[in-house]
Structure 1
């Protein structure tokens, strides 16, 4: 059964007011964007190096509240040939952070008709807890294949042995939660890790490439088949990053390098017309990038019904 068909299978629960999955066909490769829910965070984290007046003006232009708003959490399932690949695993459950509207990935995979046991590979853009936490939910590990391969940059694994938080600007509690999640992930899944240095082809037409910046091992995934292209950019791109790619995000461990990576990726996308999907872009986060002088413009895709 194709992911396109699965995207229509299963019913939205009575507490689900909006769709939580959206399918895109990239040549012969099937891509399904899955919402893990939303993460309420202070707006200052969108650009803590920006002046309060500039940040307030951007929020006002976007009809967003000034104090805090909901960041989307998106993951992706890719089917290429005989492989089913989960790109990032969502937040999971962390009662200490009180985030009840996040950590929905496992439930929504089930609703989409995707059996965890069918996943052959997991690709992690990085090891922040909102990308690995879904693998730490009780009962998930037992549902996964014994031969599951988890692809992550070697630099990312090395970083979390002694992570540096000196350049971040996170709310209280997050650094400790991030450390704990990364430590638990290594403990649970170390034997399944498949490390790469700069780039690795995970499946035909599915390539993961390390960018660094957000974290030392942060990576993006490019999907290509025929004339179609899609990039899952993880945390390299945020909603504010098109107009203000130089604004620093509070979760970036190397904000200067993250800004350089962001500009490089946005230029690539504007030049080649690929679809862009990113973790914290509003669901379903499928669209194009256009150059706009020295900045960029987000062009959401028209939904395909």
Structure 2
């Protein structure tokens, strides 16, 4: 996959320097990880599984007829479909960085096809003690839940640094769900998960205001919108770039960036963040990865009139 900024020389094909577990992944019918390189930074996109949700969650402010037409055009079901869940593992210098930690295991939500990240990290040969840093785009449970599975904290190194925006930590001390449109049970689950995460990992949390350089060429930048402390992670090395957009971008966001996602705590600000981010990556030509775009969620963005167009990257075999 030629994931380079326009007018830059093509990098030599490279995979993440890991040792696969023998026979790993043999029971899975589809791929669950994809590796590439951005300059000197090794990148692996890892699927945490899928999260079935009502399609209205994609655009609760949209005309139902327009939303139904979009779903029809995309060959998607009208009532509910599977939202992808993606996380990213990075290696920059001596640091191994995990961007988001997946859903984990919440038996009350009955989501057996999600929460696969930890077993897929293991299948890729990435052991938890090797992780030096974790960056959280935000503290929704599908981004922090994997850290709350029994036995996980004991495997992580004591000096692990968990980077998250200060505004995000402050928000979850008294979260406001008044502008969200979530299925029953989700607000309570989100609140409980964030509260538990802050209690369990309070000594490991490293907060930042606007941005933080987590490792050489790896910068977390607060955008707000989706949640007050929502952040993106931007990679830059040897003239190449890549942005992990977290939950700033969803499948409908390219054609209809003004449609509001049900999990957005400030829908209007989320729209402004989304448009600004999509314009940025369209201007640079860099690859974009996002949590809820179809795996491996790697592609580019093109401006299309007043909206945008998603251009999936070709897989490199």
DSSP-derived class of the 1:176 partner:
helix
1:3 CA drift (Å): 5.4
- 2:198 corresponds in structure 1 to 186
1:52 CA drift (Å): 0.6
1:12 CA drift (Å): 4.7
Q: Is the 8 A contact 1:46 1:249 kept in 2?
A: yes
Q: Distance in 1 between matches of 2:145 and 2:236?
A: 28
Per-residue deviation, residues 196-232 of structure 1 (Å, max 9, x unmatched): 0001100000000000000000000000101211000
1:301 CA drift (Å): 0.6
Once the two structures are superposed, the pairs formed by residues 1-305 of structure 1 within 5 Å of their partners are 4-6=16-18, 10-305=22-317
Q: Distance in 2 between matches of 1:98 and 1:191?
A: 31
Q: Distance in 2 between matches of 1:86 and 1:46?
A: 26
Q: Distance in 2 between matches of 1:14 and 1:121?
A: 29
**TM-score under structure 1 length normalisation:** 0.98
Q: Distance in 2 between matches of 1:56 and 1:47?
A: 10
Ranges of 4+ aligned residues in structure 1 off by more than 3 Å: 5-15
Per-residue deviation, residues 246-294 of structure 1 (Å, max 9, x unmatched): 0000000000000000000000010001110000000000110000000
**TM-score under structure 2 length normalisation:** 0.94
1:117 CA drift (Å): 0.4
Q: Distance in 2 between matches of 1:11 and 1:86?
A: 24
In structure 1, the gaps of 5 or more residues are none
Q: Is the 8 A contact 2:20 2:125 kept in 1?
A: no
RMSD: 1.2
Q: Is the 8 A contact 2:24 2:124 kept in 1?
A: no
Number of residue pairs the alignment of both structures matches: 304
Q: Distance in 2 between matches of 1:284 and 1:14?
A: 19
1:13 CA drift (Å): 3.8
Residues 157 and 235 of structure 1: CA distance in aligned 2, closer, same or farther (over 3 Å): same
In structure 2, the gaps of 5 or more residues are 1-13
Q: Is the 8 A contact 1:10 1:112 kept in 2?
A: no
Q: Is the 8 A contact 1:10 1:113 kept in 2?
A: no
Q: Distance in 2 between matches of 1:257 and 1:266?
A: 14
